[in-house]
Structure formats: structure tokens, C-alpha cells
Amino acid sequence: MVVAFILAIINAMLIQNVVLYRFYGICPFLGVSKKSNEALSMGLAVIFVIVIASAICWPIYHYILVPANIAFMDTITYILVIASLVQLIEMFLKKYSPSLYASLGVYLPLITTNCAVLGVAQGNTDTNLTFGMSMANAIGTSVGFLIIIFAFSCIRVRLEASNVPKCLKGIPIALITAALMSLAFVGFTGLIK
Amino acid sequence: MLPILWAFIVLAGLGLLFGFGLAIANKIFYVKEDNRIEEVAKMLPNANCGSCGYAGCKGFAAAIVKGEAGNLSKCRPGKLETTYNPILEYLKDHPNDDGTPVNIKI
């Protein structure tokens, strides 16, 4: 059981990485990766939202929506949960870290429609995972997001200082870098049999 | 019971629940914002030169509204006609909450 839990985390974190393998959550990945500390706090905010949202959405789906025969309402219910959580984290940051609040800018409320968040909640119930497994999926996915956005921001900081051909400066070289990272992550396929 | 009724009850219930939760959170995490800071910052040159000794024009605007800045002329790029007078005028019309005027000179 514990082994399966850890394997599920590693699977979601590295092998089926949320950004580089499933292409979820590209928007903050490109938008908030210019500075490492901003990327780190974005990753932490996403971890908070994904884990709590999955922990709330799973019981709502299995103990309210399914018994009441309205499983078709799943998406709008999840969006309600996610939007409330993002609102909460926005209030929290505004109070305790106004500078971070200002630097994350519009990308903070955009977590609401971050497809990584909805994708995890939806995927957990669509594939009929147990509660433990869906938590493993949520933790693995969100930690995977944090690792990737942080690594990417570290590369981008160095790209700023390096001599990039003029036509590739800025976003083009960032996209090429993301593509190379995605290629590198293919190497994890087959890590778990 | 009809599923549509359940759908209505569940969504309305969840919405109410989260709404109440957020209302309580708003009370806990409440930050008092002074609209005047924003307005004064708009009237400053917004060069963010730092010659006033504060962190950017927004910092200076916050200090002006709090009455800690003392003199508007700390803002070097500012002009009497286009910067100082409009701000003085604005603050004269918008005193502090308790009615006392904002402590500021040119």
C-alpha cells in the first residue's frame, strides 16, 4: 500500500509530468518563470490549491454527487471548489505578502482556470481512483509542477545573462528550452514497470 | 427525487457554504486600503527616481497620505503647477477619516 502510494507520487511527478508530458498548466509555467523566487511561490500556491482541491472534490463526488445521481455536475462543482480556494489564497497573500501579491499579478487568480488543477480533480474521479491514490496523484502532480517551474526559472535567469542570438531572445529561446526539457523527461518513461 | 432538484440543492448548498467561508476569511485577512494613495501616486511624475528617499512613487504617495513625508518638494522631478498643487488640492478635498487635514507642505 505504502509502496503503491510512493510509486503513484513518482509516476505523477516525473514520468507523467504535468507540464512536460501532459501539457497542463503551461500558462503560469511560461508567465511566472522569469524570477526563481516568484516561480517558487507560484509552485507552492499551486501545490496548496491542487492538494486541498483534490481532498475536497473526491468526497464531494463520491458521497454527494454519485448518491444523488448528479455525477454529470462534477466539472462545475470542482470549479466552485477551486475558485473558492484561489480566492482564499489571494486574500492570504494580500495580507501577509503584498510584494508577492503584486509580483504574481494576474497569474494568481488565473490558478482558478489552470488546467493542471482541474485536470487533477477531474482525472481522480474519472479514473475511479481511491482516496489515497487520488491524494498521491495530487501531491505528485503538484510537486512535479513546482520542480519544473523552478528548474525552468533557474534556466531562464541564466538565459537572460547569456549571449542568445538576437532573433531568439526572450520567449522563443524559453520555448525551445521547454521543448528540450520535455524531450529530456521522455527519458523517465519506463522508470516504473 | 428529480435529479434537477438535487443539482439545484447541491450547487446552491456548496455555493452558500463557500460563500460563508470566504466571507469569514475576508474578515480575518482584511487589509485596510487607502484609495487616496492610488490617486496621489497617479499625480506624481511616476519616474520612480527615488530622489525623495522612498521606494518609488507609490512609497512616496503612501508617506504623503500618512502625513510622514513633510514636504512635497522632496519629489525632484515634480513641478509646482503640474504636481504639487494638484496633490495639495486633492488632499484638501479628501481629509483623513477623522476629519483632520493631511499634514503636508510644498
Domain around A89? 2-19+26-186
Q: Is residue A162 part of a domain?
A: yes
Task: Give the separation between CA A29 and CA A145, rounded to whole angstroms.
Answer: 8
- The per-residue pLDDT of chain B, averaged, comes to 85
**What was the pLDDT predicted at B39?**
84
Q: Which residue is listed with cell 466539472?
A: A75
The distance from CA A50 to its chain's CA centroid, rounded to whole angstroms, is 7
Q: In sequence order, what are the residues at sequence separation of 6 or more whose Cβ sits closer than 8 angstroms to the Cβ of residue A93?
A: A45, A100, A101, A104, A108
Q: Is residue A191 part of a domain?
A: no
Mean pLDDT across B64-89: 84
pTM of the predicted model, to two decimals? 0.78
* Chain B residues within 8 angstroms (CB to CB) of chain A: 3, 6-7, 10-11, 14-15, 18, 21-22, 25-26, 29-31
Closest CA to B27 of A102, A88, A104: A88
Q: Quick count: other Cβ atoms within 10 Å of Cβ A141?
A: 32
User: Distances from the Cα of B30 to the Cαs of A96, A108, B18, B62, in angstroms?
Assistant: 10, 18, 17, 18
> Residue A33 has which C-alpha cell?
518563470
* Under 8 Å between Cβ of B75 and B51: yes
Least CB–CB distance from B29: residue in A60, A69, A95: A95
User: What are the pLDDT digits (tens) for B28-61?
Assistant: 888 777 788 888 888 888 888 888 888 788 888 8
DSSP A108-159: TGGGGG-HHHHHHHHHHHHTT--HHHHHHHHHHHHHHHHHHHHHHHHHHHHH
* Residue B1 predicted with pLDDT over 80: no
Q: Which residue is listed with cell 492610488?
A: B38
**What was the pLDDT predicted at A82?**
93
Task: Give the separation between CA A18 and CA A37, rounded to whole angstroms.
Answer: 20
Least CB–CB distance from A88: residue in B6, B7, B22: B22
Phi and psi torsions of B19, nearest 5°: -60, -45
What are the 10-residue block averages of pLDDT along chain A, 193 residues in total?
Answer: 90 89 89 89 91 93 90 90 92 86 84 90 91 94 94 93 89 92 89 75
Residue in chain A nearest B1 by alpha carbon: A68
Task: Give the separation between CA A90 and CA B72, rounded to whole angstroms.
Answer: 34
**In chain A, how many domains are there?**
1
If one compares B19 and B44, the residue with the highest pLDDT of the two is: B19
Our CA-based measurement puts residue B18 at a distance from the nearest CA of chain A, in whole angstroms, of 6
